[in-house]
């Protein structure tokens, strides 16, 4: 699975740049400016997830690799003398929300994410590793310390948050925070899209039973679409979930419906959906 650039922000930084300086006195040692040390402190940029279980039924640890679906991090580089910020994420990272604020030389970022897993991961241990940037080496690395969380259906909806702040003269000059939500989904067996007219007459039925990316263009007379999902839970009980999308209530007549099929590893992919278009 290849990495995916989900956001590209071009930031033109104005103002001044801080240069390192030192106090030099003849026959006296050079004293480093502590401001330089502050600006060379390692900085949090994202996270990488790994999974393990006590019975060795699950062992996923791909590290900081472009094929890792369980990662998201912020990458900086120069383009035409401007600072570019891009977010690299694996395809297990869902519902990403970015909150960014830049004032003068101070920058704060918060990234909210979610992963959706099937019941294979219940009773496994989730380790959250920090992706850290070192200004001195200009390299990203994984912080050795990890956060271990035992997953279960009881704590479905678990939220994990980590924040890093760097201060200069009691003022925050850098802040990065990520928040991860973990949820479970039952086994999705099939999805039906049922088109109805204004008189509630069924016009068309479309069945989806595979992990894919679909486009559904409705019939001209379709007034609303009922999406019916059939699930099987841990106890092998089968149940259905129904959601209605009405013409006129869908912004710009286009709606993306996330498909909750889990792949062979056991997570919901963020790029598998139905693009519903009211024609």
In the prediction, which pLDDT does 234 show? Answer: 87
Q: How far is Cα of residue 64 from the mean position of the Cα atoms in its chain?
A: 15
Beta bridge partners of 232: 187, 238
DSSP string, 198-255: TT--EEEEEEE-SS--EEEEPPTT--EEEEEEEEE-TT--EEEEEEEEETTTSGGGEE
pTM: 0.82
* C-alpha span between 131 and 30 (Å, rounded): 34
* C-alpha span between 23 and 19 (Å, rounded): 13
Positions in the chain whose pLDDT score sits under 50: 1-32
In the prediction, which pLDDT does 6 show? Answer: 40
In the prediction, which pLDDT does 22 show? Answer: 32
Question: Which two three-digit tokens encode residue 93?
Answer: 């990272």
Neighbours of 35 (CB within 10 A): 15
| Residue 190 · residue 208 · CB < 8 Å | yes
In the prediction, which pLDDT does 145 show? Answer: 67
In the prediction, which pLDDT does 102 show? Answer: 85
* C-alpha span between 127 and 51 (Å, rounded): 6
In the prediction, which pLDDT does 270 show? Answer: 95
In the prediction, which pLDDT does 77 show? Answer: 85
Q: What is the pLDDT of residues 203-239, one digit of tens each?
A: 999 999 888 899 999 999 999 999 999 999 989 999 9
Q: What is the pLDDT of residues 45-57, one digit of tens each?
A: 999 999 999 888 8
In the prediction, which pLDDT does 30 show? Answer: 44
In the prediction, which pLDDT does 178 show? Answer: 95
| Residue 217 · residue 279 · CB < 8 Å | yes
């Amino acid at each position: 699975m290849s990495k995916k650039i989900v956001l590209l922000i071009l930031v033109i930084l104005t103002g001044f740049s801080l240069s390192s300086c030192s106090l030099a006195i003849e026959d006296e040692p050079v004293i480093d400016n502590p401001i330089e040390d502050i600006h060379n402190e390692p900085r949090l940029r994202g996270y990488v997830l790994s999974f393990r279980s006590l019975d060795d039924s699950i062992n996923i640890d791909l590290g900081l690799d472009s094929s890792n679906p369980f990662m998201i991090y912020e990458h900086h580089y120069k383009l035409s003398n401007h600072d570019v910020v891009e977010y690299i994420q694996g395809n297990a990272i869902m519902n990403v929300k970015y909150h960014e604020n830049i004032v003068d030389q101070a920058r704060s970022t918060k990234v909210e994410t979610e992963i959706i897993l099937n019941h294979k991961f219940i009773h496994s241990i989730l380790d959250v590793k920090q992706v850290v940037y070192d200004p001195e080496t200009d390299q990203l690395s994984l912080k050795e310390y990890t956060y271990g969380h035992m997953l279960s259906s009881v704590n479905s909806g678990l939220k994990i948050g980590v924040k890093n702040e760097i201060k200069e003269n009691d003022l925050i000059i850098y802040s990065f925070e990520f928040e991860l939500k973990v949820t479970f989904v039952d086994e999705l067996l099939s999805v039906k899209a049922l088109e109805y007219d204004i008189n509630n007459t069924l016009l068309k039925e479309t069945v989806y039973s595979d992990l894919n990316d679909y486009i559904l263009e409705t019939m001209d007379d379709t007034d609303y679409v009922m999406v019916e999902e059939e699930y099987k839970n841990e106890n092998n009980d089968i149940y259905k979930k129904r959601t209605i999308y009405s013409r006129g209530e869908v912004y710009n007549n286009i709606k993306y419906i996330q498909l909750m099929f889990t792949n062979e590893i056991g997570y919901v992919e963020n790029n598998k959906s139905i693009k519903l278009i009211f024609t």
